[in-house]
Structure 1
Amino acid sequence: MWIQILCGLVFYRLIKRFFYDDDTYEIESSDTDAKFIVANRLEKVYGGKVYLGLRIPDADSGTRQNIDMVLVTKREVVVISVKNYSGFVGIDADGTWVCTGDRTRKTERYPDPVAETKRQISILEAYLEQRGVTFPEGYLSGRVILPNPNFRMIHSTNFSSEVIPFDQWIQLKPEPRNMFSGWIKDAFRGGKKETQDGINEKLHFILSTAPMWDRMVLKDNKNLLGEFLQFKGKQEDMQALKYIKRSKVSRLIIQKSAMFGLGNSKLQVLYSPRDYQLEGASASEWKEVTVKSHTEVLFQPQGSDKVRKIKLSSVVSVSLSA
């Protein structure tokens, strides 16, 4: 009997891995989780606002440029790239970053993140100018943050000052207002004057309405950035969910429904109608539909060419970009 159970478990894990590709899914989630952690900490330390997962239109290429996050304070705007690299990393003669795994000897090569961030600054600056906001030269800066504790530099002097490795990242601490010290001042503050309140307010409005990736929060505090595609399930559930489209809905929250009896497992889907004039919705404006728990969501993570089928019962919330 135990042999049959063991064989069944092995077969289940093989089938699950074949269809759901758990390893890749975990990588996608851990990379996004790292961005959320960085964003939350930056807001606590600097008291500014972080805009996460932006997709800024690039007029030159006719495409959208992915920007991990933009930190906005009264003193400056910082474009931040988060690289969750693990292992020993060095820089090749052409600027390419060469990463050798800390547990395996597998070597991977990545385009220079600093050069990428500088290009993102240029694209963001042009986008803001098109929407009526200009800044003094050098007001926009960039940083590459490496928050993985398993990241190790090879020949650290080869890395530019825009790169913030883990040992510096963990030194960030909230400080009293008007008290700046150490690399924090050099990395982010720069001694720049505060912008006028009107310009700052307009900047926040532009970034809050800029194109961005959809955000999915899963159980166990996992996060995904990407594109919500559609629901998948029984016909009656699809009929109940037909109103939930990005053009009409900005956010949805999944809750268990108090149902009893076999086959009556249900989920409550609370959704907030999109308001293009007001940000968010009050509790009284939330609407609700009930669907079966085996309903799924089709979601394509950022940077992946594979569409994920995720059980709606595993989802906490989804934020849909306009």
Structure 2
Amino acid sequence: MWLKVVCLLLIYSIFRRFLYDDSVLEAERNDTNAEFPIVAGIYRRFRRFLDDDDDDILEDETNDTDAKFLVGERAEKVYGGKLYLGLRIPDHDTGSRQNIDMVVVTKEKVMVNHVKNFSGHVKIDSDGSWICAGGEKQPKVENHPNPVVEAKRQVEVLESYFEQRGVELPNGYVTYRVVLSNPSCRALPFIDFPPEVVPFDQLITPQPEAKGVFTGWNCQIKDAFRGGKKEEQDRINRFNQQLHFVLSTAPMWDRLELEGNKHLLGEFLRFEGKDVLALRQIKRSKVSRLVIQKSSMFGFGCSEFQVLYSARDYRSQGASGFKWKEVTVKSSIEVLFQQQNSTKVRKFKLSSIISMALTA
């Protein structure tokens, strides 16, 4: 938009040369010092408007991702077990990939958490869709697909994926929750959330699980692996190892950690800048994690960055051995990153990045 403004100003000045005589133009030239600051001020205002709008969009995107990280941390504390965040499970029915916010694996179950950062009061329509209104960022009424149906679909895709990877799950072993991560999201007084929905207050103070639920799942596992006590336990351990192996090697989104404790999920595309050749060894097939360290020159400003990266170790179920290597680059390097569910590619300076995790 600012480029259009500059072009219009240039066209305007050209037309003025034809419309006015030389004496008028000469008089205006003498007033150049007053005119240029005005034009520059208009330009800066447009730039500030565009930048602020872009910052607001980025703020919304990081808020949604930060909510998922907070829910993930809370889920690990409440349920124990291992957390897998930002999964992209192949869906053979649609030929695409199903985004799953997070999966928590405990000794008793596999739980899919479908996180929604809705705000405002919720009304559930007759077709099951959610109508939200009155939130801080939703002053107008917004309609959303039924998140419970979305979560059920995620469970179906995940169960199918386990089966394709050779893991047979007991019936009902994969459960799901719809987690409302925003404290301002509440049901209207005459509306009750479905039992699968966990509001924010229950996330902070979780409700106790129904008695005997875990026992039922344990019985299903034991029935599936009947035998002697030691043999049964060995099979259960191998079963749990299979679960973790499948999820740790499943497709996931890359993670970008920014200053200010902000996070983004998406896809790392490439580096740009003068020192890009120094980073040619950093490829997702070889590297699993990067950490950016800043170094100042004579204490006046940051002119160089140390990029620490760890090689990917496929022998440890896709995890990294965290043997760090280091490369020094100039501050002109930028990271091109495309957030999940977005077609826009963003550029981030190294000065704004804390770390980045790459998936294979």
Decide whether the 8 Å contact of 1:78 with 1:188 is kept in 2: no
Report the count of equivalent residues: 304
2:47 corresponds to 1:15: yes
Higher mean C-alpha deviation, range 286-295 or range 13-22: 13-22
Q: Distance in 2 between matches of 1:157 and 1:228?
A: 42
Higher mean C-alpha deviation, range 264-273 or range 26-35: 264-273
Partner residue, 2:201: 167
> Closer, same or farther in 2 for the Cα pair 1:37/1:271, shift >3 Å?
same
Q: What's the Cα RMSD here?
A: 2.5
> Closer, same or farther in 2 for the Cα pair 1:56/1:265, shift >3 Å?
same
Identity %: 56
Q: Distance in 2 between matches of 1:78 and 1:118?
A: 11
Decide whether the 8 Å contact of 2:123 with 2:191 is kept in 1: no
**Selected match of 1:227 from 232, 256, 267:** 267
Q: Distance in 2 between matches of 1:9 and 1:184?
A: 60
Note the C-alpha offset of 1:258.
Answer: 4.7
> Closer, same or farther in 2 for the Cα pair 1:218/1:106, shift >3 Å?
same
> Closer, same or farther in 2 for the Cα pair 1:226/1:269, shift >3 Å?
same
Query: What TM-score comes out, normalization by structure 1 length?
Result: 0.87
Decide whether the 8 Å contact of 2:86 with 2:252 is kept in 1: yes
Note the C-alpha offset of 1:140.
Answer: 0.9
Structure 1 counterpart of 2:134, which letter?
G
2:129 corresponds to 1:79: no
> Closer, same or farther in 2 for the Cα pair 1:90/1:57, shift >3 Å?
same
Query: Any unmatched runs of 5+ in structure 2?
Result: 1-36, 222-235
2:144 corresponds to 1:110: yes
SS of the counterpart of 1:21?
helix
Note the C-alpha offset of 1:101.
Answer: 3.1
Note the C-alpha offset of 1:151.
Answer: 0.8
Query: 1:1-322 residue pairs with structure 2 within 5 A?
Result: 14-19=46-51, 21-103=54-136, 105-155=139-189, 157-172=191-206, 183-186=207-210, 190-194=214-218, 195=221, 196-234=236-274, 237-260=275-298, 265-278=303-316, 279-282=319-322, 285-322=323-360
Structure 2 counterpart of 1:200, which letter?
N
Note the C-alpha offset of 1:303.
Answer: 1.6
Decide whether the 8 Å contact of 2:86 with 2:102 is kept in 1: yes
Decide whether the 8 Å contact of 1:75 with 1:192 is kept in 2: no
Q: Distance in 2 between matches of 1:119 and 1:205?
A: 22
Note the C-alpha offset of 1:277.
Answer: 1.1
Q: Which runs of 4+ in 1 moved over 6 A?
A: 7-11, 261-264
Query: Any unmatched runs of 5+ in structure 1?
Result: 173-182
Note the C-alpha offset of 1:224.
Answer: 0.4
Note the C-alpha offset of 1:56.
Answer: 0.4
1:57-108 deviation line (CA, Å, top 9, x unaligned): 1111111100000111000011110001111111111111111132463111
Q: Distance in 2 between matches of 1:188 and 1:27?
A: 41
Q: Which has the higher contact order (CA 8 A, sep 6+)?
A: 1
Which of the pair has more CA radius of gyration? 2
Query: What TM-score comes out, normalization by structure 2 length?
Result: 0.78
> Closer, same or farther in 2 for the Cα pair 1:251/1:266, shift >3 Å?
same
Decide whether the 8 Å contact of 1:82 with 1:147 is kept in 2: yes
Q: Distance in 1 between matches of 2:168 and 2:257?
A: 35
Decide whether the 8 Å contact of 1:145 with 1:164 is kept in 2: yes
